[in-house]
Structure 1
Amino acid sequence: MKSQSNSPSAPGKQDRFSSAGFILAAIGSSVGLGNMWKFPYITGEHGGAAFFLLFIVCLIIIGLPVLLAELAIGRSGRGSAATSFVKAGGPKVFGHLGLLQVIVPFLILTFYVIVAGWTLHYAIMSFSGDLYTNTDFSGQFNTFIEGYMPLVWQVAAIAITGWVVAKGISGGIEKFNKILIPGLVVLLIILMIRAVTLPGAGAGVSFFLNPDFSKLSAEAALVALGHAFFSLSLGMGILLTYGAYVDKRQPLGPATLAIGAGDLIYAFIAGLIIFPTTFSFGIEPNEGPSLVFIALPAAFSAMPFGSFFGGLFFVLLAIAALTSAVSLLEVPISFVMDKWKWGRTKSVLIICMLVLLVGLPSALSFGIVPGLSDINGKNLFDWLDFITSNILLPIGGLVTTIFAGYFWSKAAEASGLTARWFRIWLFMLRYVAPILVFFVLLHTTGVLDFDQD
């Protein structure tokens, strides 16, 4: 009886999301670190509000159709990301293709919890004030990631993630997101108000919100398409897995819109935090870790009550990281439970140990082990990020669109859409989304680069 309730094959009777819990959990999966350190940067680089409008269009034409497809396939198949395609009525070959959407989140999680650990460390350092005793923030960050302390925080991050997932869907993942997502909203609002009221913040707001349509280009369109795809956690099995825990009576259309809106609002507020803060203190709004772990601490150090607001900011990042980590972990957990009928606790312990083991070389690739720090110009951490994000995720998205558009006879019933909206959705899945995802794949791998002379 216990193994039945733990199996993703039968989540509907024993352990499933409530309607609100499902939407919050799905938003939690999309609210990650990328929107905080990447979206503001690419928005400012490609035309501010003009790019933001383009991003909204891309979210509608590629993000939402694929999002709905993944949820519908997961709910119809009631299996793991690897088995839902076949259990939903698809050809057996999609069982092998679906396995990719189990492998990818596992690989992402191996390096994602490393960064999650950094955010936990920096939150404590900021609240204590120790972060600001040395104003060489670049040197401080490099010294930290080149040492052994990140391993401790990596263990802490996966321990928190595993503890939540071990408690199940309703008692673990749903409760976790019901607490943290509202908390994240409060932190976003507090930090946004602080940012836009800083001296000189108006220039940052103007840079972010004033449209510059002259900067829109084919390159900008591909960047917007890629971010619309990645920011919703598409192609990595999360929404396929979460779909298996959704009640059959849950309308997927409105839920898809709510998840997309949550992702959009988070990205927008992130811009209203990053740009006013960086402009106020004359800091370059770089992309990636250099922004949040080097540039922004410099801003917080010069801000009244900076250690407090810096601490809130890193707590915000930690929440974003951990809610995403929880959703990433659930994908391989559901697979091993479905495949080998393991209990949830056993599955979590084994997968978490494997995550730490596989992630150890990435954590050591910042200088401790020289052979891992420079592999054809990238360290191992960056290579894993590049391969999973730029190659494997678009391939996973192509699998979903091709399956739902051409091989799924139950698509109309599973989607729950009216006849008119179903025809529009199917058209997008057949003729628009696969082509655009393919172009994203070509762009992210460097085959298409419109910036080259």
Structure 2
Amino acid sequence: MSRQQESNGSSTKADRFSRSGFILAAIGSSVGLGNMWKFPYITGEYGGAAFFLLFIICLIAIGLPVLLAELAIGRAGRGNASSSFTKVGGPKIFGKLGLLQVLAPFMILSFYAIIAGWTLHYAVLSFSGTLYENNDFGGTFSTFTGEGYLPILWQFVALAVTGWVVIKGVSGGIEKFNKVLIPGLIILLIILMIRAVTLPGAGEGVSFFLNPDFSKLTTESALVALGHAFFSLSLGMGILITYGAYVDKRQSLGTATLAIGAGDLIYALIAGLIIFPTIFSFGISPGQGPKLVFIALPAAFSAMPFGSFFGGLFFILLAIAALTSMVSLLEVPVKFVMERWNMGRTKAVVITSVLCFLLGIPAALSFGLVPGLTSMGSRGFFDWMDFIASNILLPLGGLITTIFAGYYWKNAAEAAGLKSVWFRIWLFALRYVAPILVVLVLLHTSGVIKFG
């Protein structure tokens, strides 16, 4: 492929997904660390099964309509996450607003690579047995993240693997990568789920996850569920607009949307059936926050037969989930750079990856090694990056998509491939339901409004 073909969005076999390859790549972007790392602890904090049911409702009623809109914009525009809005005939202001959906994945990738590095490091520690030589798992985690430069090395490894995949292109890199890793991910999920639900006392964890207690539901839990539906489906961060540009015109976007949503939901379900039976079996609280994965679960693995093996499999599972998402995150700014500056893919990947790495260094050092980065007002550098990207940029990106598709895009029905009845339902959701709820999520996550 020539540089001009790479950067101007012209149609070639090398820059298009196959039908199955697109769905696997899109599922790969959604089955990241969010559902395995974040979903269990927010489910534990907000009521277990009742929260999971809320998450399902939000995913179907709001997440899927916005997902379809992003895919349709991308396929119709055949541009990057910014230019696609204007290429389909939208006002120029949406092209500028679309830059938020380029900035968001760039920022997320910068700190996401750090967590991916942690998972790689912990997989090595677990398989070698080193992780279980000392029962002070909190101390182990604090020492690793806050007293040395090893996290930066693992951050570099994660970004290097990601960059290597993206350099190889859409069909030769991203699609092939996901065709290998997603089946491997499924196998690991099944193995770990069987191990978890067969542990002594696992039934209590399954009950907590699957038997709803609606008395625990609040307005806040509903907004958190909606916010996580956005995050887990990779909405508002330009990924699905970018991937949509690589989709064949003959592929049904409606079918693809349902497949991606189902993949995300099944992954969340199995994640819950791994985490909750395991922690309940060993008397661990389900509401421990992010520490659950790197501190509480190693304690559980240390107490079970063949724990180092199953712990290693678990962290390999996390690493695979992280890397498939990182590939999607990197492709968004790479496509923008290629198109904006007429740049070849390899050069765009190298420049973008280096900038992500440099931005991520202070985040990696903000867990105690550099006090000035650890406490910057109410948060450390890492937490500020996460807060800005996840709680502000993503809801804004989703809001831009819903307003554009709902009010400004004349050919939305044709691009989405929806018939009259389904189009009216979809349009109603985009015009009157999604914007209101997304604004509430934005106001809530940014701290403007609070609910009891």
How many Å separate the matches in 2 of 1:299 and 1:287?
A: 14
Distance, in Å, in 1 between the alignment partners of 2:202 and 2:11 is 49
Q: Which amino acid aligns with 1:338?
A: E
2:86 maps to a residue whose letter is V
TM-score by length of structure 2 reads 0.98
How far did 1:6 drift?
Answer: 1.6
* Structure 1 residue 13 displacement after superposition: 4.7
Structure 2 residue identity aligned to 1:277: T
C-alpha distance in 1 between matches for 2:379 and 2:63: 30
Aligned position for 1:395: 396
The corresponding residue for 1:277 is 278
In 2: Cα distance, 1:271 partner to 1:207 partner: 10
- How far off is 1:315 after superposition? 0.2
Q: Are 2:311 and 1:310 equivalent residues in the alignment?
A: yes
Quick check: 54-63 or 7-16, which moved more? 7-16
Query: Which residue is 1:30 aligned to?
Result: 30
Matched residue, 1:58: 58
Distance 1:380 1:269 in 2: 32
**Aligned partners of 1:25 and 1:173 also within 8 Å:** yes
| Counterpart mapping for 1:172-191 below 5 A | 172-191=173-192
Measured after TM superposition, the shift of residue 369 of structure 1 is 1.3
Q: Is the CA contact 1:11–1:244 (under 8 Å) kept in the aligned structure 2?
A: no
For the 8 Å contact 1:6–1:344, the answer to whether it is kept is: yes
Q: Deviations over 1:61-96 (max 9, x none)?
A: 110000000000000000000100000110111110
Once the 2 structures are TM-superposed, how far is the Cα of residue 191 of structure 1 from its aligned partner? 0.4
CA distance, structure 1, for counterparts of residue 11 and residue 368 of structure 2: 44
Distance in 2 between the 1:13 and 1:36 partners? 34
Following the alignment from structure 2 to structure 1, what is the Cα–Cα distance between the partners of residues 235 and 12? 23
Is contact 2:30-2:325 (8 Å) kept?
yes
The CA deviation string for residues 197-218 of structure 1, in whole angstroms up to 9 with x for no partner, is 0011111111111111111222
Question: Is 1:210 equivalent to 2:211 in the alignment?
Answer: yes
Kept in 2, the 8 Å contact 1:12–1:247? The answer is: no
Q: Does the CA-based 8 Å contact 1:41-1:287 persist in structure 2?
A: yes
Alpha-carbon contact 1:5-1:14 (below 8 Å) kept? no
Match of 1:161 in 2: 162
Q: Deviations over 1:386-435 (max 9, x none)?
A: 11100111011100000000111111110001111111111110111101
Give the share of equivalent positions with the same residue, in percent: 76
- d(CA) in 2 for partners of 1:325 and 1:14? 20
- Cα pair 1:8 1:78 within 8 Å, conserved: no
Tell whether 2:373 aligns with 1:368. Answer: no
Following the alignment from structure 1 to structure 2, what is the Cα–Cα distance between the partners of residues 441 and 352? 29
* Equivalent residues in 2 for 1:224-235, closer than 5 Å: 224-235=225-236
C-alpha separation in 2, matches of 1:8 and 1:208:
48
Change (3 A) 1:274 1:8: farther
Q: Note if contact 1:12-1:245 (Cα within 8 Å) is conserved in structure 2.
A: no
CA distance in 2, matches of 1:56, 1:324: 21
Cα distance per residue 1:230-266 (max 9 Å; x no partner): 1101000000000000001110001000000000000
> How far apart, CA to CA, are the structure 1 residues paired with 2:114 and 2:219?
34
TM-score after normalising by structure 1: 0.98
Would the alpha carbon gap of residues 157 and 288 (structure 1) be closer, same or farther in structure 2, given more than 3 Å must change? farther
Residue type at the aligned position of 2:401: T
Contact kept in structure 2, 1:8 and 1:80, CA below 8 Å = no
| SS of equivalent residue, structure 2 residue 234 | coil
Using a 3 Å threshold, how does the CA distance of structure 1 residues 387 and 417 change in structure 2: closer, same or farther?
A: same
Instruction: Specify whether residues 46 and 151 from structure 1 end up closer, same or farther in structure 2 by C-alpha distance, changes over 3 A only.
Output: closer
3-state SS of the aligned residue for 2:246? coil
Counterpart for residue 381 of structure 2: 380
Cα contact 1:85–1:98 (8 A) shared by 2: yes
| Letter matched to residue 126 of structure 2 | S
Match of 2:108 in 1: 108
Indicate yes or no: 2:450 matched with 1:446: no
**Contact between 2:14 and 2:169, CA under 8 Å: does it hold in 1?**
no
Q: Aligned letter for 1:85?
A: F
Contact 2:41 2:289 in 1 (8 A): no
Aligned to 2:411: 410
CA distance in 2, matches of 1:289, 1:55: 19
Give the Å deviation of 1:51.
2.3
Q: How far apart, CA to CA, are the structure 2 residues paired with 1:442 and 1:84? A: 27
Unaligned runs of 5+ in 1: none
What is the identity, as a one-letter code, of the residue corresponding to 1:432?
V
User: Following the alignment from structure 1 to structure 2, what is the Cα–Cα distance between the partners of residues 217 and 150?
Assistant: 38
Which of 370-379 and 310-319 deviates more?
Answer: 370-379
* Runs of 5+ unmatched residues, structure 2: none
* Aligned amino acid, residue 15 of structure 2: D
- Matched residue type, 2:439: F
Measure, in 2, the Cα distance between the counterparts of 1:209 and 1:42. Answer: 15
| Corresponding residue for residue 48 of structure 2 | 48
How far, CA to CA, are the matches of 2:319 and 2:114 in structure 1? Answer: 11
Alignment of 1:249-288 (within 5 A): 249-288=250-289
Matching of residue 128 in structure 1 with residue 167 in structure 2: no
Preserved CA contact (<8 Å) 1:18 1:246: yes
Rounded to whole Å, the distance in 2 between the matches of 1:300 and 1:14 is: 43
Aligned partners of 1:8 and 1:244 also within 8 Å: no
Question: Partners in 1 of 2:407 and 2:12 — Cα distance?
Answer: 27
2:296 — aligned with what? 295
SS at match of 1:177: helix
Matches within 5 A, 1:336-347: 336-347=337-348
Compare 365-374 and 305-314 and name the one that shifted more: 365-374
Give the distance between the partners of 1:372 and 1:262, measured in 2 at CA: 37
